[in-house]
Amino acid sequence: MHGSEPTSPAKSTRHAPTEAVVVDFSHHSDAFAERPFQVLAELRELAPIAWSTAHDGFWVVTDHQAVIDGLADYERFTSRFGPAIPANPFGTRHIPVGLDPPLHTTYRRVLNSWFSKAEVVRREPELKTLVDEIVQDLAERGSWDFVADLADVVPGAVTLGILGWDRSRRLELLEVMARGLKNAASTDPDVVARNAEGNRWIREQILAEARDRRVNPRADLMTVLSTEPIADGVPMTDEEISDTVVFLLLAGFHTTSGALTALLVQMARQPDLRARLEQDRSLIPDAIEEVIRIFAPITALARRATEDTKLGGVAMKEGDWTLFVNVAANHDPAAFPEPETVDLGRNRAKSVAFGWGIHRCMGLHLARTILRLEVEAVFDLLPGHVIDLAGTRRARHLGIGYFYETVPAHLATA
């Protein structure tokens, strides 16, 4: 398909289904990173569900209704083989995202109370202090990078705080995860080896924390995961602890960071939006939802068909990989008219930015609160700040999500 050639020649080990529209689409390609929304619109126009020959072959679903139908149907589309195509270097059996019911229900129940709306409300004063201190520091410096100095700092610090880890370890963890995600689709043996080493290192750190909590239990999530009976009255195995924590780190660090910078850059491009939000703070939550609908911090969710089946009239075979492109669904004009326009008043009940069905994001209350506090602090403590739009740089690895690598900014007087 025009403009969506994969970065490396696609070799399909599966035969393209005879009646399918066959494309050569890779969400990890440079061509996709350059013009993602146009590529997806062209793809949807060509075939809302097409067979791509990239990454050993998979169905690529860009139609909103089909994305919702597929994600809601965990019996026909399993998460058991991991949520990404190709698998990210941190494994496939992430908990809870790589589990189907009934196991999914059991493990998610353990985590839920730590991320519930009530728990986030309880933590809000502590979160506000953390955010305000970081933003106040930017004000004193006069110039800063919104990615490295704010967006990447807060979510990591908060997730580590909930787990009960030393927050100052945020940077070393972030570095290893960022490298792994950036190179998730690489087949270069050196890169693959470095990713495997990063995965091994992170898992060692997790198990060291778990061993510590068994000796020194504390009031933190790490202690619960390491000591409390979870399924059948027994605590998690080391592997399960590691599969859970590695996913919390992955899910919690990058996504919220990407959402903040997308919103700040959008406000710089659209000063009327910034002025409107500054004057009426009650609109900030709508702006957050709208920006993550357009610039999804998670591009697509992978599943595998558990039986020969049909989706949107297309016949699929048991074992077929299927990529539900949530950002494509959120740009489907049938669901969201003028999809690339920030419309604070639009109906977003069917936005799939946080996923859909049983795996819908468990951290969404936390993410929404962190983002609102960050935007409020930026308005209060960095009034009149200027983003150097020409100096911003977007990450190339859009297959994971829409991220900026740098968003330089300064106070108007600096």
Instruction: Please report which residue ranges of 142-282 form alpha helices under DSSP H.
Output: 146, 154-163, 170-182, 189-215, 221-227, 238-269, 271-279
Q: Which of 314, 299, 288, 267 is nearest to 367 (CA)?
A: 288
Backbone angles phi, psi at 15, to 5 degrees: -85, 135
Instruction: Give dist(CA 411, CA 77) in Å, integer.
Output: 49
Nearest approach in angstroms of CB 239 to ligand HEM is 17
Of 1-9, 12-20, 137-145, 350-358, which segment contacts ligand HEM by CB under 6 A?
A: 350-358
Q: Quick check: helix, strand or coil at residue 50?
A: strand
Q: Which of 395, 330, 333, 343 is nearest to 151 (CA)?
A: 395
Nearest approach in angstroms of CB 371 to ligand HEM is 7
> Please, which residues have CB within 8 angstroms of residue 288's CB and are 6 or more apart in sequence?
259, 263, 368, 371, 372, 375
Total residues contacting ligand HEM by CB under 6 A comes to 28
Q: Which of 84, 23, 58 is nearest to 322 (CA)?
A: 58
Nearest approach in angstroms of CB 396 to ligand HEM is 20
Instruction: Give dist(CA 18, CA 22) in Å, integer.
Output: 9
Amino acid code (one letter) for 344: L
How many Cβ atoms are within 10 Å of 103's Cβ, its own excluded? 14
Amino acid code (one letter) for 246: V
* Binding flag, residue 362, ligand HEM (CB under 6 A): yes
* Binding flag, residue 298, ligand HEM (CB under 6 A): yes
Nearest approach in angstroms of CB 288 to ligand HEM is 8
Q: Restricting to residues 62-81, which ones interact with ligand HEM according to CB under 6 A?
A: 79
For ligand HEM, the binding residue among 221, 236, 300, 353 (CB under 6 A) is 353
Contact of 305 with 322, CB cutoff 8 Å = yes
Would you call the peptide bond into 96 cis, given omega within 30 degrees of 0 as the criterion? yes
Nearest approach in angstroms of CB 369 to ligand HEM is 10
For ligand HEM, the binding residue among 6, 70, 89, 297 (CB under 6 A) is 297
Nearer to ligand HEM, 296 or 387 (CB): 296
Nearest approach in angstroms of CB 16 to ligand HEM is 25
Nearest approach in angstroms of CB 194 to ligand HEM is 25
* Binding flag, residue 284, ligand HEM (CB under 6 A): no
* Binding flag, residue 252, ligand HEM (CB under 6 A): yes
Of 43-51, 144-152, 251-259, 406-414, which segment contacts ligand HEM by CB under 6 A?
A: 251-259
Q: Which helix (H) or strand (E) holds 56?
A: none
Nearer to ligand HEM, 173 or 301 (CB): 301
Interaction pattern, residues 147-186, with ligand HEM; x per rule: CB under 6 A: --------x---x---------------------------
Residues that bind ligand HEM (CB under 6 A): 79, 83, 96-97, 108, 115, 155, 159, 248, 251-252, 255-256, 259, 292, 297-298, 301, 326, 353-355, 359, 361-363, 366-367
